[in-house]
């Protein structure tokens, strides 16, 4: 089959690698996002997928994939199937109807749970004990198409979204190969989703990472794991300033006190009271500085029991 791949993020790299290696299929083009400003100097740089396939396959970078001239450009390539993974744009009906075998998507969640742009992060942040990958047909409603393949993966209590991402990307690439084989053979199975069970995984914002100490310690622990490395969870310090301290690693622990106050007398342990229980900070990163053990921050900030963080 003639296949077009559409994707931008890291999750897409193992998928496009498997497509390039498939002897029965021809990857005729990769569609990805235009170069965007990155880094401190905000220099234009390619997304992970574009950098990964450079020189191996034609790459197209439309600002809007639904533009009529771009749809016509893809139609001229005569694709049999379009594969999507972490592309970052909605596909219009004109693209969904273009290939005779449809458009399929690699989505890193157990659909219908966590439909949206950040399924890995929200599954961890909400304390799920498992996640997975679903291969689905794309329809105009977000992540609501029929399921072709699905496999589960456990989430350990201290796993971060960053640690889960490559694992789910590799799993998704393998499931995609099975899905493409079944489509080619005409044996593909389609399982409709139950919309009543759907949950959302919206695009992350910087404000999602602001720590609210009035929440239970376990919930904050999960958000720190889920939102690492971006947007990162942080608190204000010094109080009254606009500077933030990111919490890179923490563990729930016993303890009580006014939410947001330090409750440990041990200079080696930075423990903060929460709405329920307490959170021991293990590793932090003050704004403009490198990551450091929480004990080093504790000593440098001259914190004492009863002091409020943010």
What's the CATH code of the domain at 37?
3.40.50.170
Sequence-distant (≥ 6) Cβ neighbours of residue 87 within 8 angstroms = 6, 7, 8, 12, 31, 32, 33, 65
Tens digit of pLDDT for each residue in 142-181?
A: 999 999 999 999 999 999 999 999 999 999 999 999 999 9
Radius of gyration of the chain (CA): 22
Average pLDDT for 3-15: 95
Average pLDDT for 21-34: 95
Q: What is the pLDDT of residue 41?
A: 74
Provide the number of structural domains found in the chain.
2
What one-character-per-residue DSSP string does 27-60 give? EEEEE-PPPEEETTTTEEE--HHHHHHTTTS-EE
Q: Residue 42 — very low, low, confident or very high, per pLDDT cuts 50/70/90?
A: confident
- The mean predicted confidence, pLDDT, of the chain is 95
Tens digit of pLDDT for each residue in 60-85?
A: 999 999 999 999 999 999 999 999 99
Instruction: Judge whether residue 127 has pLDDT over 80.
Output: yes
Query: Could you give the residue ranges of the DSSP H alpha helices within 40-140?
Result: 48-53, 68-76, 93-96, 119-125
Q: What is the DSSP letter of 81?
A: E
70 and 159 belong to one structural domain: yes
100 and 190 belong to one structural domain: yes
163 and 281 belong to one structural domain: no
Q: What is the pLDDT of residue 180?
A: 97
22 and 139 belong to one structural domain: yes
Q: What is the pLDDT of residue 142?
A: 95
Query: Does a structural domain hold residue 229?
Result: yes
Compute CA 187 distance to the chain's CA centroid, rounded to the nearest angstrom. 31
Q: Strand, coil or helix: what is 280?
A: strand
Sequence-distant (≥ 6) Cβ neighbours of residue 79 within 8 angstroms = 2, 3, 4, 28, 98, 99
Query: Does a structural domain hold residue 310?
Result: no
Average pLDDT for 243-266: 94
Domain boundary among 138, 162, 197: 197
214 and 181 belong to one structural domain: no
Query: Does a structural domain hold residue 179?
Result: yes
Q: What is the pLDDT of residue 26?
A: 96
Tokens (6 digits) for 290: 């490198």
Q: What is the pLDDT of residue 12?
A: 93
Query: Does a structural domain hold residue 289?
Result: yes
- Exposed (0-12), middle (13-18) or buried (19+): which is 158, by Cβ within 10 Å? exposed
* pTM beyond 0.85, yes or no: yes
Q: What is the pLDDT of residue 36?
A: 87
Query: Does a structural domain hold residue 158?
Result: yes
Instruction: Judge whether residue 131 has pLDDT over 80.
Output: yes
Query: Could you give the residue ranges of the DSSP H alpha helices within 200-293?
Result: 217-226
Q: Residue 310 — very low, low, confident or very high, per pLDDT cuts 50/70/90?
A: confident
Tokens (6 digits) for 66: 């639904």
Residue-number span of the structural domain to which 247 is assigned: 206-301
161 and 40 belong to one structural domain: yes
Q: What is the pLDDT of residue 43?
A: 83
57 and 185 belong to one structural domain: yes
Q: What is the pLDDT of residue 268?
A: 87
Sequence-distant (≥ 6) Cβ neighbours of residue 111 within 8 angstroms = 134, 136, 143, 147, 150, 193
Whether the CB-CB separation of 224 and 249 falls below 8 Å is answered with yes
186 and 46 belong to one structural domain: yes
193 and 243 belong to one structural domain: no
Domain harbouring 215, CATH code: 3.10.25.10
Domain boundary among 197, 221, 246: 197
Pair type for strands 59-60 and 26-31: parallel
Kindly report the backbone phi and psi dihedral angles of residue 181, in degrees, each rounded to the nearest multiple of 5, phi listed first.
Answer: -60, -40
Query: Does a structural domain hold residue 107?
Result: yes
14 and 155 belong to one structural domain: yes
128 and 265 belong to one structural domain: no
Query: Does a structural domain hold residue 309?
Result: no
Q: What is the pLDDT of residue 239?
A: 79
Return the residue matching tokens 């390539």. Answer: 77
Q: What is the pLDDT of residue 163?
A: 97
Tokens (6 digits) for 207: 């404000």
Q: What is the pLDDT of residue 209?
A: 97
Tokens (6 digits) for 158: 């201290």
- What Cα–Cα distance (Å) separates residue 27 from each residue in 4, 23, 90, 184, 197? 6, 10, 21, 15, 35
19 and 144 belong to one structural domain: yes
Query: What percent of the chain has pLDDT above 90?
Result: 88
Query: Does a structural domain hold residue 307?
Result: no
Domain boundary among 197, 231, 256: 197
Q: Round to the nearest angstrom and report the end-to-end CA distance of the chain.
A: 57
């Amino acid at each position: 089959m003639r296949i077009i791949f559409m994707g931008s993020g890291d999750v897409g790299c193992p998928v496009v690698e498997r497509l390039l290696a498939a002897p029965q299929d021809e990857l005729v083009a990769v569609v990805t996002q235009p170069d965007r400003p990155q880094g401190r100097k905000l220099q234009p740089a390619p997304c992970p997928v574009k950098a990964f396939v450079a020189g191996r396959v034609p790459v197209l970078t439309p600002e809007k994939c639904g533009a009529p001239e771009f749809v016509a450009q893809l139609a001229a390539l005569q694709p049999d199937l379009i594969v999507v993974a972490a592309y970052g744009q909605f596909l219009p009906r004109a693209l969904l109807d273009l290939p005779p075998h449809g458009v399929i998507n690699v989505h890193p969640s157990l659909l219908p749970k966590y439909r949206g742009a950040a399924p890995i992060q929200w599954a961890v942040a909400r304390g799920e004990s498992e996640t997975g990958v679903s291969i689905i047909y794309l329809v105009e409603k977000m992540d609501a198409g029929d399921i072709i393949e699905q496999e589960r993966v456990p989430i350990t209590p201290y796993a971060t979204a960053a640690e889960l991402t490559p694992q789910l990307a590799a799993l998704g690439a393998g499931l995609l190969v099975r899905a493409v084989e079944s489509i080619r053979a005409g044996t593909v199975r389609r399982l409709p989703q139950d919309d009543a069970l759907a949950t959302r995984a919206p695009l992350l914002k910087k404000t999602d990472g602001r720590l609210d100490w009035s929440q239970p310690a376990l919930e904050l622990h999960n958000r720190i794991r889920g939102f690492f490395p971006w947007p990162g969870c942080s608190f204000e310090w010094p109080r009254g300033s606009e500077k933030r301290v990111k919490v890179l690693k923490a563990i729930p622990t016993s303890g009580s006190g006014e939410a947001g106050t330090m409750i440990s007398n041990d200079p080696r342990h930075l423990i903060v009271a929460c709405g329920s229980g307490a959170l021991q900070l293990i590793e932090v990163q003050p704004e403009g500085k490198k990551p450091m053990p929480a004990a080093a921050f504790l000593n440098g900030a001259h914190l004492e029991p009863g002091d409020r963080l943010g």
